[in-house]
């Protein structure tokens, strides 16, 4: 059964930015794309880099370590169809962002 965790307040993650969060013993990368929040596995599939600290352009995040890029709305790697970061359901309630793990 999935559990719900608070990741951040809405104000902490401005549109066009992301945040590395820890929830339920996992590292989660949270992003704000034009006011819509998305959460994917925060550990890069390449070599474990911090995806949540990557630069966000539109809905594409670039891992700060070696530049792999993912669509934060789907978790899909931009070039390799077989690589996909896990995507988690996000909800916003009373100014806080929650994730289900």
Q: Identify the CA nearest to 39 among candidates 89, 92, 77.
A: 89
Q: Is 65 or 98 the residue whose CB approaches ligand FES more closely?
A: 65
Told to check if 98 binds ligand FES by CB under 6 A, we report: no
Told to check if 63 binds ligand FES by CB under 6 A, we report: yes
Q: Identify the CA nearest to 57 among candidates 15, 86, 95, 89.
A: 15
DSSP string, 14-50: -TTEEEEEEETTEEEEEEEETTEEEEEESB-TTT--B
Told to check if 70 binds ligand FES by CB under 6 A, we report: no
The 8-47 contact track toward ligand FES, x by CB under 6 A, reads: ------------------------------------x-xx
- Contact set with ligand FES (CB under 6 A): 44, 46-49, 63, 65-68
């Amino acid at each position: 059964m999935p559990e719900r965790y608070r990741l951040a307040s809405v104000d902490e993650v401005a549109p066009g930015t992301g945040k590395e969060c820890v929830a339920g013993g996992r590292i989660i990368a949270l992003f704000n794309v034009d006011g819509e929040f998305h959460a994917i596995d925060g550990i890069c599939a390449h070599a474990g880099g911090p995806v949540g600290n990557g630069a966000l352009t539109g809905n594409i995040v670039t891992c700060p370590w070696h530049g792999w890029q993912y669509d934060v709305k789907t978790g899909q790697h931009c070039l390799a169809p077989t690589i996909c970061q896990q995507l988690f359901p996000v909800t916003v309630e009373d100014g806080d962002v929650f994730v289900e793990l």
